[in-house]
């Protein structure tokens, strides 16, 4: 996020780049401070347990813009204290009202506010809620008609749970294909998060082919549970009006809760809490509960539901590397106190282990197996070979603005006739396979990264796929937006893994035409730091 602002000092207009730069620095610096503020708010409202499962308070930048607003408020205050005048600034309605009501800063020093709201109107919001309700009812019906209610999983070594969607069930995004075994000693409890009937039918079809024992929360959910889950939306809005609003941050939080749209993550969390609580009370569950873990509200609900089963060890498995701005993945002290964190956590790669230990040393975190990203350690030596036929493969992200930025660069490369020197390919994000507006000169591919052609150059925004590409020996180059490093960088500036980066099309053209830029990519160092292929024990790792 790059603030749109005009500033002046002593009557002279100043460059906004300094404001944007300082804001970006605060995004890096204030993660722990912000986490403590959210913890303080949750602790002050611990008698309202439903608020613990609010996606708005998850600290995820994809679920809420509170952290952006928090850093922007700090930045505005600092510049005004240093004698600057803000002539124009674009902010959200939550921050605007916080500034006006709390008097934290002198709003008279801000000449003009432009209040920008991304909120959908109430009618569209209601339609989203109705659509989700219909799909969930279909989901429960399909589960109950296609799968028997299982109660014989107590003898299994472990109960695994993860999201499944868009038919990705047997080849799971979190546990690979480890759970699809006829002789599996594990049971699997899928959390289906499809938002269209077409994808839901595809997922059900794939689940029917899984050989491991399956168990579903949908067998235990009632229509009343669904209505209670939907009620969280009105409960959050009611709570936002009644909660204590002392201090600017608490006021800002309350406004975000008040203005939040219907959130499928929050509803899924409440459905998980109701469904898993009943499931755990009626089924003899194994001694190990292993949940694919990204500290999402719906995952916290599963762990919260198991808190009374003291004989069952709860394990969170983070199946992928983490980017430097994903501080929300690391459970806070208050989340641990509220029984929203597994008793043990396993991460992929030493970089993630280091970040977890530095952020919250009280967490029980260790290196885990690499189930999702497996390859032969010698394979990248072959892939790195030079070939005559040049291929340029773009890894398109799911985030709209970054998608559009990379899309624009593709058009600029084609305008510069670079497509006459390279074959252009695009691989879309598995969550968001939208290809709208892509240039006709670029061909879509839907294959694993290890199956890319030898010698390909891979162009990506900050993504786990980019790390995987570099670790496998492909010549990889990253797009980093100027003054937006916090959101578009893969790792902090203190970590150097020598993957070349570019900030505009001219820099990209120079890099792809000069092979010397890629010689410093240390594939083994990247593999060791982010993927930890040395632990290859499969699911047996969790049974120790």
Looking at per-residue pLDDT, the higher value among 294 and 516 belongs to 294
Closest CA to 439 of 459, 420, 461, 412: 412
Q: Is the model's pLDDT at 363 over the cut of 50?
A: yes
Average pLDDT over residues 494-506: 81
Residue whose token pair is 């969550």: 431
Residue 191 placed within a domain: no
Q: Is the model's pLDDT at 415 over the cut of 60?
A: yes
> 3-state DSSP call for residue 78?
helix
Q: Is the model's pLDDT at 401 over the cut of 70?
A: yes
Residue 414 placed within a domain: yes
Looking at per-residue pLDDT, the higher value among 336 and 241 belongs to 336
533, 472 Cβ separation under 8 angstroms: no
Q: What is the pLDDT of residue 165?
A: 86
345, 367 Cβ separation under 8 angstroms: no
Domain boundary pick from 115, 138, 159: 115
Q: What is the DSSP letter of 424?
A: E
Which burial class, exposed, middle or buried, applies to 47 when counting CB atoms under 10 A from its CB (0-12, 13-18, 19+)?
exposed
- Give CA–CA dist 83/72, Å, rounded: 17
Average pLDDT over residues 473-500: 78
What CA dihedral angle connects 266, 267, 271 and 273, to 10 degrees? Answer: 20
Residue 264 placed within a domain: no
DSSP string for residues in 327-381 = GGGSPPHHHHHTT-S-SEEEESSHHHHHHHHHH-TTS-EEE----SS---TTHHH
- 3-state helix, strand and coil shares in percent for the chain, rounded to the nearest 5: 45, 15, 40
Residue 226 placed within a domain: no
pTM of the model: 0.89
Closest CA to 259 of 83, 65, 420: 65
Q: Which of 111-120, 256-265, 316-325 has the lowest mean pLDDT?
A: 111-120
Q: What is the pLDDT of residue 495?
A: 67
Q: What is the pLDDT of residue 119?
A: 60
Confidence of residue 219 (pLDDT cuts 50, 70, 90): very high
CA 257 from chain centre, in angstroms, equals 20
Q: Is the model's pLDDT at 381 over the cut of 50?
A: no
266, 299 Cβ separation under 8 angstroms: no
Q: What is the pLDDT of residue 375?
A: 59
Q: What is the DSSP letter of 172?
A: B
Alpha helices in 103-222 (DSSP H): 122-146, 197-207
- The beta-strand segments (E) located in 179-330 are 186-192, 288-292, 313-317
Percent of the chain with pLDDT over 90: 30
Closest CA to 445 of 465, 463, 464: 465
503, 489 Cβ separation under 8 angstroms: no
Q: What is the pLDDT of residue 388?
A: 53
Domain boundary pick from 115, 144, 165: 115
Closest CA to 85 of 4, 5, 8, 3: 8
101-138 residue pLDDT tens: 877 777 778 888 888 876 666 777 788 888 888 999 99
Q: Is the model's pLDDT at 164 over the cut of 80?
A: yes
Average pLDDT over residues 506-526: 82
Question: Structural domain tally of the chain?
Answer: 2
Q: What is the pLDDT of residue 539?
A: 81
Residue 52 placed within a domain: yes
394, 428 Cβ separation under 8 angstroms: no
Q: What is the pLDDT of residue 527?
A: 83
Query: Across-strand partners of 160?
Result: 188, 290
Residue 386 placed within a domain: yes
- The boundaries of the domain holding residue 469 are 379-526
SS (H, E, C) 287-314: CEEEEECCCCHHHHHHHHHCCCCCCCEE
Looking at per-residue pLDDT, the higher value among 537 and 448 belongs to 448
Residue 58 placed within a domain: yes
b/e sequence 298-329, b meaning 16+ C-beta within 10 Å: bbbbbbbbbeeeeebbbbbbbbbbbbbbbbbb
Task: Give every CB contact of residue 42 below 8 A, 6+ residues apart in sequence.
Answer: 51, 52, 57, 334, 338
- Give CA–CA dist 450/382, Å, rounded: 11
CB atoms within 10 A of CB 62: 13
Report phi then psi at 12, rounded to 5. -110, 135
**Lookup: tokens for 225:** 């549970």
286, 158 Cβ separation under 8 angstroms: yes
Report phi then psi at 460, rounded to 5. -150, 160
Domain boundary pick from 115, 144, 164: 115
Q: Which of 59-73, 278-292, 388-402, 429-443 has the lowest mean pLDDT?
A: 429-443
Q: What is the pLDDT of residue 497?
A: 66
Residue 500 placed within a domain: yes
**Lookup: tokens for 298:** 């719906």
Q: What is the DSSP letter of 519?
A: T
Q: What is the pLDDT of residue 383?
A: 46
432, 398 Cβ separation under 8 angstroms: yes
Q: What is the pLDDT of residue 389?
A: 56
Q: Is the model's pLDDT at 376 over the cut of 60?
A: no
Confidence of residue 231 (pLDDT cuts 50, 70, 90): confident
Confidence of residue 264 (pLDDT cuts 50, 70, 90): confident
Looking at per-residue pLDDT, the higher value among 283 and 233 belongs to 283
Query: Do you know the residue count of the chain?
Result: 544
CATH number at residue 510: 3.40.50.2000
Query: Across-strand partners of 91?
Result: 115
Q: What is the pLDDT of residue 437?
A: 65
β pairing state of 391-396 and 423-428:
parallel
Q: Is the model's pLDDT at 252 over the cut of 80?
A: yes
SS (H, E, C) 149-170: CCCCCCCCCEEEEEEEECCECC
Report phi then psi at 348, rounded to 5. -105, 110
**Lookup: tokens for 455:** 């010698």
Largest CA distance in the chain: 76
End-to-end CA separation in angstroms for the chain: 44
């Amino acid at each position: 996020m790059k603030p749109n602002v005009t500033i002046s000092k002593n009557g002279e207009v100043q460059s906004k780049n300094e404001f944007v730069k300082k804001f970006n620095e605060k995004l890096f610096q204030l993660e722990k401070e912000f986490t403590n503020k959210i913890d303080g708010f949750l602790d002050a409202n611990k008698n309202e347990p439903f608020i613990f499962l609010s996606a708005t308070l998850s600290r995820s930048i994809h679920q809420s813009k509170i952290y952006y607003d928090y850093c922007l408020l700090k930045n505005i205050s600092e510049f005004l204290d240093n004698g600057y005048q803000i002539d124009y600034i674009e902010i959200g309605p939550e921050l605007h009202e916080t500034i006006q009501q709390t008097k934290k800063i002198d709003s008279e020093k801000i000449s003009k506010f432009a209040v920008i709201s991304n909120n959908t109107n109430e009618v569209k919001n209601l339609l989203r809620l109705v659509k989700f309700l219909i799909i969930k009812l279909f989901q429960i019906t399909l589960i109950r008609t296609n799968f028997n209610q299982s109660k014989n999983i107590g003898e299994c070594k472990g109960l695994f749970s993860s999201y499944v969607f868009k038919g990705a069930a047997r080849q799971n995004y979190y546990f690979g294909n480890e759970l699809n075994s006829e002789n599996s000693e594990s049971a699997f409890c899928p959390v289906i998060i499809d938002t269209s009937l077409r994808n839901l039918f595809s997922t059900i079809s794939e689940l029917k082919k899984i050989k491991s024992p399956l168990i579903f929360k949908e067998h235990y959910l009632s229509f009343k549970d669904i209505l209670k889950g939907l009620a969280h939306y009105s409960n959050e809005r009611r709570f936002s009006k009644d909660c204590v609003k002392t201090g600017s941050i608490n006021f800002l939080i309350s406004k975000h809760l008040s203005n939040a749209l219907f959130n499928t993550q929050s509803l899924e969390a409440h459905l998980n809490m109701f469904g898993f609580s009943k499931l755990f009370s009626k089924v003899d569950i194994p001694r190990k509960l292993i949940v694919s873990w990204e500290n999402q509200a719906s995952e916290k609900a599963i762990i919260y539901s198991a808190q009374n089963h003291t004989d069952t060890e709860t394990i969170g498995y983070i199946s992928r590397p983490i980017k430097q701005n994903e501080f929300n993945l690391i459970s806070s002290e208050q989340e641990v106190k509220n029984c929203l964190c597994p008793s043990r956590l396993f991460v992929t790669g030493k970089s993630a282990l280091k970040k977890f230990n530095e952020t919250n040393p009280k967490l029980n975190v260790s290196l885990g197996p690499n189930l999702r990203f497996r390859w032969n350690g010698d394979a990248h030596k072959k892939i790195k070979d030079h070939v005559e036929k040049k291929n340029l493969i773009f890894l398109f992200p799911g985030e709209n603005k970054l998608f559009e930025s990379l899309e624009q660069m593709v058009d600029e490369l084609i305008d510069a006739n670079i497509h006459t020197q390279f074959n252009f390919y695009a691989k879309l994000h598995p969550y968001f396979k939208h290809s709208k507006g892509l240039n006709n000169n670029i061909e879509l591919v839907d294959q694993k990264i290890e199956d890319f052609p030898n010698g390909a150059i891979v162009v990506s925004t900050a993504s786990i796929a980019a790390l995987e590409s570099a670790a496998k020996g492909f010549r990889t180059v990253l797009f980093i937006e100027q003054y937006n490093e916090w959101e578009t960088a893969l790792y902090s500036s203190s970590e150097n893994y020598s993957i070349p980066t570019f900030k505009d099309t001219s820099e990209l053209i120079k890099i792809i035409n000069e092979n010397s830029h890629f010689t410093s990519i240390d594939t083994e160092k990247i593999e060791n730091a982010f993927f930890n292929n040395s632990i290859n024990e499969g699911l047996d790792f969790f049974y120790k």
